[in-house]
Amino acid sequence: MEEEEKPEIAVAAKPAKPAPAESVATAETVPATGSNTIQDPLKSGGKGPMLVVIPDGLFEMGSPGSSRYAEERPRHTVKVRKFAVSQYEVTFAEYNAFATASGRRIPDNLFLELEIHPVIFVTWDDAYYYTKWLSEQTGKKYRLPSEAEWEYMASGGKKSSFWWGYDEEPKRAHCFGCGDGLDPRKPAKIGSFEPNQFGVYDTAGNVAEWVDDCWHENYDGAPGSGEVWEGGDCAYRLVRGGAYSSPPQSLRSAKRDKFKSDSIYDHIGIRVVREID
């Protein structure tokens, strides 16, 4: 086996507190909390990540024309098909089972508890191959979420800037300036805060999450389906959700960030999707 090239390591900087948030993603209806859950058995033993079924629906993706965030415009209607998504961010223990089985690099865990903390220091490729392994282990189709699926899921079906409302609120998430009382230098335990309306935890803050799409500088020409937007600059991949090192406004459901796909970061992790037949 060829030795893996050591990825570039980047560390998140602590940004200044930004201006107040703006209106973002909308949905036609707001589903109730407590959606159906799925957990597939693995051929090697144990089970895959706990999944929540997200219903199909229409939503308005991005920010309004008055927004100062050009990369989040134009706002456009997207039709999303039903899918299942991991209820929590993938943990070190879940990821390490794959890495050990496949001979892939074991990420640095910063002495965090492996069973209850989200994996970090993983490249986009690491995340991609983890989903391939889950597919092989379960016989189901796993993958990274598309950017549209991620925003729809993270919004909880709400029309507001955050899944809980239009304004930044303390103790809603783990971020730099969220007033959560947690260590601002590292991720918190998964599920430390209440879930959104779809029953999904940590869609805002804690660790940001790789999605499947390559970087596009705005939504001009974006598809109206929830599928991955082909093309773009694939040296960079989209990252969503904000992190423990992010200011509160970076936790908005519509916030977009790009990071080098071949680098590892101390604030970026994984959330997976499983297609529904």
pLDDT at residue 16 tops 50:
no
Residue 238 lies in a domain: yes
What is the three-class DSSP state of 127?
helix
Among 41-50, 67-76, 117-126, 220-229, whose mean pLDDT is lowest?
Answer: 67-76
Count: domains in the chain: 1
- Is position 3 within any domain? no
When the pLDDT of each residue in the chain is averaged and rounded to a whole number, the result is: 89
Report CA Rg, the chain: 17
Report if residue 172 sits inside a domain: yes
What does each C-alpha distance from 227 to 185, 195, 198 come to in angstroms? 35, 25, 20
Higher pLDDT: 8 or 55? It is: 55
133 lies in some domain: yes
- The verdict on residue 200 lying in a domain is yes
Q: Is residue 1 part of a domain?
A: no
Q: Contact at 8 Å (CB) between 253 and 152? A: no
Residue pLDDT, tens place only, 74-87: 999 999 999 999 99
Domain coverage including residue 116: 8-275
> Which residue, 152, 125, 141, is CA-closest to 262?
125
Across 92-106, 117-131, 152-166, least confident range = 152-166
pTM confidence score = 0.86
Tell me the one-letter amino acid at 50.
Answer: M
Whether 12 is in a domain gets the answer yes
Compute CA distances 143 → 84, 124, 127, 132, 224, whole Å.
Answer: 10, 12, 9, 7, 20
Q: The domain that contains 143 carries what CATH number?
A: 3.90.1580.10
For the record, the structure tokens of 242 come out as 């904000």
- What per-residue confidence (pLDDT) applies to 162? 87
- For residue 80, tell me if it sits in a domain: yes
Q: Is the peptide bond before 74 cis (omega within 30 degrees of 0)?
A: yes
pLDDT tens digit string along 196-251? 999 999 999 999 999 999 999 999 999 999 999 999 999 999 999 999 999 999 99
For residue 179, pLDDT over 50 is answered with: yes
* Per-residue tokens: 183: 């260590």
pLDDT at 24 over 80: no
Strand order in the sheet with 26-27: 26-27, 57-61, 76-80
